């Protein structure tokens, strides 16, 4: 092309850019449609199996759906929800409470002390999760009582044996929509000593109640958190002394750090599962393929398959979720140990010397992780198997 045609050059460049944007949009829509189609197939399978078991025809099904719809009108459903909420035990939310449901489906929050004292017997109450705080003071999550398992994706398993370890997966693939990679020049804020910027945006150490003293016991002052070491890169506390969110948490010198990837818990899981295409029947298969091949994302798949009697909306936690939960490590483990003491098959505490995967991506080959022995948060290769816990948003 001749230099005397700059207008044509600019026009071609503009058209090419717009074309590439449309291709990206088309690819995103295609990924979403694949995910939706997979969910539809899963629902069709479940419906078909239930119809066979109940001996109900498709024609009879329409009549049943209409009748149920009349019974569950929006106003009545809202009233039923309000009534159930009134029956929920009036315990002030805090990390470490045990979520239990009674036989009528009402939710209660039990303290570890009351639970161990036998006030919520298993023949009347079902334990399903442990409460954990989110960064915002009015937002809460719940962590699963058990580890995820590729051999038991629906139920997980209350142990730390080898079959509960799995990789993040998708080796070599970048998950569109997650945190972009390349954070070595992003600095964290050190608020523990000098209030000066210190450390790197790609890793840091989390304050935790686990490090209150040499034994890892809880601090006498529950609002104070301690670090494993005094000479490394600190991650700021997620909350201020008054319980309000700390605006410095997840902020770097110029840009957000990996603790503020700009994508929330549900969006991260949705983006990862849209990439899970290698095992087409992962939503219904008896076992999930436990490898890190492209298109395989066993950790997120297991979290999505996991169910408890009253919850079916579990997912994989972000790096930020893990950082906040680890601040209350001792409290969370108190709840898990209380359930385990009643029945070892129902719960397993967080490992004192292990590490857990998050759904926050560092690069095509690495993903963020929390190491419980030091409170260190960094990244590891996506092919390395690690423990996985499911989290869910606690909706009050």
Residue 235 lies in a domain: no
Range of the domain at 320: 75-182+256-393
Q: How many domains does the chain have?
A: 2
3-state secondary structure of 74: helix
Residue 339 lies in a domain: yes
Residue 372 tokens read as 């419980």
At residue 128, the 3 state secondary structure works out as strand
Structural tokens at position 83 = 């009534």
Q: What is the pLDDT of residues 158-185, one digit of tens each?
A: 987 777 999 999 998 988 766 543 333 3
**Residue 64, in any domain of the structure:** no
- Residue 282's pLDDT is what? 96
Report the distance separating Cα 272 and Cα 392, nearest Å: 16
Mean of all residue pLDDT scores within the chain: 77
Same domain flag for 51 and 83 = no
What's the pLDDT at 335? 97
pLDDT by residue (tens digit) across 303-350?
Answer: 999 999 999 999 999 988 998 999 899 999 999 999 999 999 999 999
Provide the pLDDT for residue 246: 74
Report strand pairing: 391-393 vs 140-143. antiparallel
> Within a domain: residue 305?
yes
Nearest of 292, 15, 318 to residue 139 by alpha carbon:
318
17 with 112, same domain: the answer is no
Residue 266 lies inside a defined structural domain of this protein: yes
Tell which wins on pLDDT, 53 or 272. Answer: 272
Whether this prediction's pTM lies above 0.75 is answered by no
Same domain assignment for residues 113 and 36: no
Contact 183/202 with Cβ under 8 angstroms? Answer: yes
Residue 331: inside a domain, yes or no?
yes
193, part of any domain: no
- Please give the share of the chain, as a percent, with pLDDT higher than 90: 42
Same domain, 81 and 174: yes
Task: Map tokens 């539809």 to a residue.
Answer: 40
pLDDT for 317: 94
Burial of 79 (0-12, 13-18, 19+ CB in 10 A): exposed
Query: Are residue 90 and residue 158 in the same domain, yes or no?
Result: yes
Does 320 share its domain with 270? yes
Whether residues 145 and 24 share a domain: the answer is: no
Which tops the pLDDT comparison, 74 or 48? 48
Whether the Cβ atoms of residue 56 and residue 65 lie closer than 8 Å to each other: no
Tell me the per-residue pLDDT of 11-54, one tens digit each, with 9 for 90 and over.
Answer: 777 777 777 767 766 766 665 666 566 666 666 666 666 766 66
My answer on whether 18 and 105 are in the same domain is no
Give the tokens for residue 80.
Answer: 């039923």
Q: Nearest CA to 201 among 216, 217, 214, 189?
A: 189
**Residue 196 pLDDT > 60, yes or no?**
no
Residues 327 and 356 in one domain: yes
What is the structure's pLDDT at 67?
47
In this structure, the answer to whether residues 307 and 365 fall within a common structural domain is yes
Whether residue 103 sits in one domain with residue 20: no
Residue 139 lies inside a defined structural domain of this protein: yes
How much is the average pLDDT of 236-253?
70
Q: In terms of domains, do 309 and 382 share one?
A: yes
């Amino acid at each position: 092309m001749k230099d005397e045609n700059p207008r044509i050059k600019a026009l071609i460049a503009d058209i090419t850019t717009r074309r590439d944007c449309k291709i990206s949009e088309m690819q995103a829509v295609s990924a979403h449609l694949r995910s939706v189609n997979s969910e539809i197939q899963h629902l069709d399978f479940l419906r078909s199996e239930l119809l066979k078991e109940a001996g109900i025809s498709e024609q009879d099904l329409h009549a049943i759906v209409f009748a149920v719809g009349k019974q569950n009108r929006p106003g009545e459903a809202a009233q039923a929800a309000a009534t159930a909420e009134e029956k929920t035990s009036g315990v002030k939310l805090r990390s470490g409470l045990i979520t239990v449901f009674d036989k009528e489906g009402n939710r209660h929050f039990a303290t570890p002390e009351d639970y161990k004292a036998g006030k919520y017997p298993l023949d009347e109450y079902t334990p399903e999760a442990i409460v954990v705080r989110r960064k915002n003071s009015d937002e809460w999550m719940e962590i699963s009582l058990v580890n995820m398992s590729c051999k038991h994706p629906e139920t997980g398993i209350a142990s730390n044996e080898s079959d509960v370890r799995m990789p993040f997966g998708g080796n070599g693939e970048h998950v569109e929509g997650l945190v972009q990679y390349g954070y070595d020049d992003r600095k964290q804020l050190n608020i523990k000593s000098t209030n000066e910027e210190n450390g790197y945006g790609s890793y840091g150490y989390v304050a935790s109640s686990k490090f209150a003293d040499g034994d890892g016991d809880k601090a006498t002052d529950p609002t104070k958190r301690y670090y494993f070491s005094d000479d490394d890169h600190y991650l700021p506390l997620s909350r201020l002394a008054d319980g309000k969110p700390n605006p410095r948490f997840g902020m770097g010198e110029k840009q957000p750090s990996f603790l503020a990837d700009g994508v929330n818990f549900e969006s991260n899981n949705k983006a990862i599962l849209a990439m899970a295409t290698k095992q087409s029947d992962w939503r219904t298969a008896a076992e999930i393929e436990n490898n890190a091949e492209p298109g395989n994302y066993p950790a997120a798949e297991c979290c999505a398959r996991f169910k408890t009697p009253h919850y079916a909306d579990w997912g994989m936690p972000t790096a930020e979720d893990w950082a906040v939960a680890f601040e209350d490590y001792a409290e969370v483990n108190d709840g898990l140990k209380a359930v385990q003491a009643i029945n070892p098959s129902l719960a397993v505490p967080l490992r004192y010397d292990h590490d857990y995967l998050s759904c926050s991506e560092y690069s095509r080959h690495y993903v963020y992780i929390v190491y419980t022995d030091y409170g260190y948060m960094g990244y590891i290769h996506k092919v390395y198997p690690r423990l996985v816990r499911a989290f869910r948003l606690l909706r009050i």
